[in-house]
Amino acid sequence: MIINHPLLGPRDAQEFTYLGDAALIDRPDALSFPSTEAALDAFHDYLYLRDNPAGEHRELWFHEQGDRSWLVVTRNTVTHEITKVELARDVARAKGRSK
Amino acid sequence: MTQENRINGGQIDRTKTLRFTFDGHPYTGHPGDTLASALLANGVRLMGRSFKYHRPRGPISAGSEEPNAIVELRTGARQEPNTRATVAELFDGLEANSQNRFPSLKFDLMGINDRLSPFFAAGFYYKTFMWPASFWEKIYEPIIRRAAGLGSLTREEDPDQYDKGFLHCDILIIGAGPAGLMAALTAGRAGARVILADEDFRMGGRLNAETLTIGNHSGADWAEDTVRTLAQMPNVRLMPRTTVLGAMDHGIYSAVERVSDHLPVPAPGKPRQILWRIYSRQAILAGGATERPIAFENNDRPGIMLAGALRTYANRYAVAVGDRVAVFTNNDDGLRTATDLQAKGIDIAAVIDTRQEGDLLPGIRHLKGAQVIDTAGKLGLKSITIRHANGRSETLSVNALGVSGGWNPNLNIASHHRGRPVWNDAIHAFTPPTDGPRNLTAAGAAAGALSTHAALSTGAAQANAALEALGLKTHTADIPKAEDAPLNLTPFWYVHEGKGRAWIDQQNDVTVKDVKLAKQENFTSVEHLKRYTTLGMATDQGKTSNVTGLAIMAELTGRTIPQTGTTIYRPPYTPVAMGALGGRSRGHDFKPTRLTPSHKWASEQGAIFVEVGMWLRAQWFPKPGETTWRQSVDREVLQTRASVGICDVTTLGKIDIQGRDAGAFLDRVYANTFSTLPVGKVRYGLMLREDGIVMDDGTTARLGENEWVTTTTTANAVPVFRHMEYVRQCLYPDMDVQLISTTEAWAQFSVAGPNARKLLQKVVDQDISDAAFPYMACANITVCGGLRARLFRISFSGELAYEIAVPTRYGDAMIRELMKAGEDFGAVAYGTESLGVMRVEKGHVAGNELNGQTTALNMGLGKMVSKKKDSIGMVLSQREGLTDEKGLRIVGVKPVDPSQPLTAGSHFLDKGAAATAANDGGWLTSVVYSPHLGCSIALGYLKNGSAGIGDRMRAVNLLAKTEVEVEIVSPHFFDPEGERLRG
């Protein structure tokens, strides 16, 4: 596969390592829950309940043999067509993540 | 030998003679021959034995689809099994051998299987070897493996190199027949960067095998001219002997180029094969078509071939396979074999044409509505029996028979992305799927355009379509005049008469009878048919058999072929040598070897090295007179604890962390708190995965207000760095923090022992007295009068210890300087074994304890997980099941009888308890011999371990068959109060 890196242009997928669902970006804030039970429930869902679509999937790739950018790659899991590549940092910021 | 079957014409170089042997017999051939054509020229038709019944077989094709003529090439280390004689380019000195026969090809003892064939029908293995289950591994499988199987391996190392390479192009054209050549010409003239790849050593495809004309030239001459024109275009790369194996994603194709297979030995510096990764923007599949046979009784005798193959041998290789030939066909293309061979002076006994309609060939005995119902000739065809349209039968004496059941487009690559081939009623064959790989089109016979004119015009058209898609100027090509005859095929798949010993898949011995049996037992889906009968499973992957098998099943079940289904194809198109896939990544080059900065010095000392991940580390340093590793390790440990020892610890991962938010960042990635760490101090950190399990541990030093350096375990240097970048970029994108891996940038040495400070003070420029540089201090310093360095007062051994880091290029000088400075103290170098002994004596956890299943609580470090801040893994480390107060805890273990050695991996059992999983109390993780305690000691995880201190248990290892009575003790065997490291 070829991943069109937003900063570096088209790069071979062999330069990257794969992590998984980009929903990992939506990590809950551990200190925002009223009880330990509520935090455990939220983290359980966050870590273990993932969509596994046959079709479009947003996923995290790390340019390990390159510039070390984490990317959010929108890839069709059936055809392997890649329709969008973004810097994970930009995606995280757009979701309101900061420090 | 005389090449008695050689006729005039052909594309062979008669000015040169090549000598070769087959099964030890010497023969001759010419450049341009394949092994199969040269053997046929010498009258050798028997080239192999079939897989299951060991039936005598000869080639049925002249190409890569060959199921029968599978041979071993060369001898010695270069011996290569399971290669097709029909594509093996002949060279002088080639030694080839037949396979799957004993004692000889003509007399094969396993031929008895043919007599026993009623017992070996489809599903034989599934039905026969079901019972008893225990017989499978010991009796059935070894027997089957010996009886079946094809070629053999030499078990010698392949002396040749295999390379990997990368190519980029605008348009990749797969196949250099009329369609591919025309496409390349069109795209090349338009200025596109073109790669034209063909599996054959001579480009031209069927043009080389036919007597057809293009314009005023013979097809073969036109092909040769066109190749010459293309070779002069700088934007066109011609790749003969190159098989495109598969369509990968995003326009990437894999291909194998056989650079040196046609030479006895590769030229100096040249690889045998190259595995290419071709990046294309557009691709055109012009791979031609493969002829398919008709199944009839005993249709597998040497001498019975595809009709087109008979033409190839006559026209291209100047070989008459027989001197009295018949043709069995259901289409007009088969008739060409009769006319071509007759023009070469070969006697045509009859053309048996299953069709009732159509014109009769002039001057040839052309039998309409007739069928071949049986054949004779044990080791080669002698006669055929035919059934005339009027029901009369007749036996004809012939020694070659050409069979044509039509042509199947070579659409394989177009279905590599699971696209379903489409049935085409005009040519009664599958054509490429409409949902094939993106930017791949098909032209010529591969697209179902079977005439020469159609090949040329679709080649040009698809090239122009590709140029247009690329935004390049198209090129209006003159299409030279060529034949445009229809195939006129009336489907005819198998002759119904006979016992059903009519072969469909010759390599795997699948017959019409097997398909009938599969139908009878309700294995009617294509996938079941394949798996039940093994149809299409051999090295040829059913190139000549899949569609026929499917069509027969359709006929038997009263369905159409599209209703019955289709088979799709997976890469590779033809078999690939493992060597080509491995490339240069073999032996020591399989992965890089990383050497520590003190490696040269350690080699000079005679160190024994051990692989730690990619690193080679010194394991111990034997001294003269030491005969066992234990003697060396005991000495290193005792001398370190008595005076001072030095160890290279460069392999630990190092990550520089800088920025105003570095402390806050570390608080997030480590379970314990770092932001409160004062400048000039080091702290131990425990890193969790988000699921609460321990990921890694190490020390982090704060060298300045915003300047930190973290260490990781050797094994986790890369994953931890990746994880930290993930946390930084994906979770906390606005933190002011930057990371860089500096593992290779610093050479780092541990200096440990009571005399460590005295030794170091001799090389360090600053004061490192206990007052100036207390326990857990760190600083940027200089050594040897000005060289920048980092000093950390940390201890893994439990001794007064430091780690000193200098830029890597000074690592070799530093170890020599340290050892020189240590001479007064009798300093020793110690390796990973001594490191392990001292850390177990001290009760520090390492890889065996951080095994990806254990928690901070298991390690006795539960209190380190701060609940006051959010950190990765903090929440889920509180999961039920991970917080069991009576769960596994780290403990120390000693044998009650100090002379008894412990075994790592032993399980704890109560006295008298049976060695069952239910009674399992935990296990020993790390075992060392402690010269300090004079016995074997261990760390382990014990259920409710903290309450177990002082208990006596059994350490049982059922694999090593050991059982030792042990005492559970504190994991801190040595200096539990830590007085020494603070000294």
Q: A16, A21, A27, A69: best mutation site toward chain B, by most B Cβ within 10 Å?
A: A27
For residues B113 and A74, give the distance between their C-alpha atoms in angstroms, rounded to a whole number.
56
Query: Taking CB atoms and an 8 Å limit, are A88 and B729 in contact across chains?
Result: yes
pLDDT above 70 (res B579): yes
pLDDT above 90 (res B53): no
Any chain A CB within 8 A of the CB of B740?
Answer: no
Q: B164, B250, B736: best mutation site toward chain A, by most A Cβ within 10 Å?
A: B250
pLDDT above 60 (res B130): no
CB pairs under 8 A between A and B: 84
pLDDT above 80 (res B102): no
Burial B258-292 (b: 16+ CB within 10 A, else e): bbbbeeeebeeeebbbbbbbbbbbbbbbbbbbbbb
**What is the reported pLDDT for B133?**
62
Q: Which of A24, A64, A68 sits opposite B730 (nearest CB)?
A: A24
Q: Which fold has domain B884-983?
A: Elongation Factor Tu (Ef-tu); domain 3 (2.40.30)
For residues B253 and B416, give the distance between their C-alpha atoms in angstroms, rounded to a whole number.
11
Q: Does domain B1-155 have CATH number 2.30.30.30?
A: no
Any chain B CB within 8 A of the CB of A23?
Answer: no
Q: What whole-number percentage of chain B has pLDDT above 90? A: 88
Any chain B CB within 8 A of the CB of A37?
Answer: no
For residues B964 and B952, give the distance between their C-alpha atoms in angstroms, rounded to a whole number.
10
Query: Taking CB atoms and an 8 Å limit, are B733 and A93 in contact across chains?
Result: yes
Numbered ranges of CATH 3.30.1360.120 in chain B: 594-650+745-839
- 3-state secondary structure (DSSP) of residue B654: strand
Helices marked H in B698-857: 717-726, 756-761, 811-821, 832-842
pLDDT above 70 (res B741): yes
Give the DSSP H or E segment for B504.
Answer: strand B503-505
Return the biggest CA–CA distance within chain A.
Answer: 46
CATH superfamily of B653-741: Aminomethyltransferase beta-barrel domains (3.30.70.1400)
Any chain B CB within 8 A of the CB of A85?
Answer: no
What average pLDDT does the segment B205-232 reach?
A: 97
Amino acid at B99: Q
Q: Which residue ranges make up each domain of chain A?
A: 2-94
Chain A residue whose CA is closest to B690 = A47
Query: Taking CB atoms and an 8 Å limit, are A43 and B876 in contact across chains?
Result: yes
Query: Taking CB atoms and an 8 Å limit, are B871 and A30 in contact across chains?
Result: yes
Architecture of the structural domain at B162-288+409-469: 3-Layer(bba) Sandwich (3.50)
pLDDT above 90 (res B138): no
What average pLDDT does the segment B811-840 reach?
A: 98
**For residue B774, how many other CB atoms are within 10 A of its CB?**
13
For residues B858 and B871, give the distance between their C-alpha atoms in angstroms, rounded to a whole number.
19
pLDDT above 70 (res B696): yes
Any chain A CB within 8 A of the CB of B592?
Answer: no
DSSP β-ladder status, B787-792 and B801-807? antiparallel
**What is the reported pLDDT for B637?**
98
Q: Which of A2, A43, A93 sits opposite B875 (nearest CB)?
A: A43
pLDDT above 90 (res B117): no
Instruction: Give the CA count within 13 Å in the CB-facing half-sphere of B830.
Output: 30
Any chain A CB within 8 A of the CB of B660?
Answer: no
Q: Which of A17, A43, A97 sits opposite B733 (nearest CB)?
A: A97
Query: Taking CB atoms and an 8 Å limit, are B734 and A29 in contact across chains?
Result: no
**What is the reported pLDDT for B101?**
78
Numbered ranges of CATH 2.40.30.110 in chain B: 884-983
- 3-state secondary structure (DSSP) of residue B665: helix
Any chain A CB within 8 A of the CB of B878?
Answer: yes
**Phi, psi for B452 (deg, rounded to 5):** -65, -40
Query: Taking CB atoms and an 8 Å limit, are B726 and A98 in contact across chains?
Result: no
Instruction: Give the CA count within 13 Å in the CB-facing half-sphere of B754.
Output: 9
pLDDT above 70 (res B134): no
Q: What tokens appear for B698 in the block?
A: 């190490």
Q: Does domain B290-405+488-564 have CATH number 3.20.20.10?
A: no
**What is the reported pLDDT for B142?**
65
Q: For A45-80, how does the pLDDT look when each residue is reduced to its tens digit (9 = 90+)?
A: 999 999 999 999 999 999 999 999 999 999 999 999
Any chain B CB within 8 A of the CB of A8?
Answer: no
How far CA B966 is from CA of B917, B926, B957, in Å, comes to 19, 14, 13
Q: B729, B866, B876: best mutation site toward chain A, by most A Cβ within 10 Å?
A: B729
Instruction: Give the CA count within 13 Å in the CB-facing half-sphere of B780.
Output: 10
- Beta strand segments in B614-763, E: 615-620, 645-648, 653-658, 681-688, 694-704, 707-712, 738-741, 746-752
Q: Which fold has domain A2-94?
A: Folate-binding fold (3.30.2270)
Chain B, 421 to 450: residues with Cβ < 8 Å from chain A are 438
Tell me how far the alpha carbon of residue B904 is from its chain's centroid: 35
How far CA B61 is from CA of B85, B87, B840, in Å, comes to 10, 10, 68
CATH code linked to domain B594-650+745-839: 3.30.1360.120
- 3-state secondary structure (DSSP) of residue B927: strand
Q: For B516-553, how does the pLDDT look when each residue is reduced to its tens digit (9 = 90+)?
A: 999 999 999 888 999 999 998 888 889 999 999 999 99
For residues B515 and B235, give the distance between their C-alpha atoms in angstroms, rounded to a whole number.
50
Q: For B470-482, how does the pLDDT look when each residue is reduced to its tens digit (9 = 90+)?
A: 999 998 878 999 9
Query: Taking CB atoms and an 8 Å limit, are B875 and A98 in contact across chains?
Result: no
What pLDDT band is residue B148 in, cutting at 50, 70 and 90? low
Numbered ranges of CATH 3.50.50.60 in chain B: 162-288+409-469, 290-405+488-564
Q: What ipTM was reported for this prediction?
A: 0.99
Q: Which of B729, B735, B878 sits opposite A36 (nearest CB)?
A: B878
- 3-state secondary structure (DSSP) of residue B174: strand
What does the mean pLDDT of chain B come to? 94
For residues B82 and B71, give the distance between their C-alpha atoms in angstroms, rounded to a whole number.
5
User: Which of chain A's residues have a Cβ under 8 Å away from the Cβ of B661?
Assistant: 99
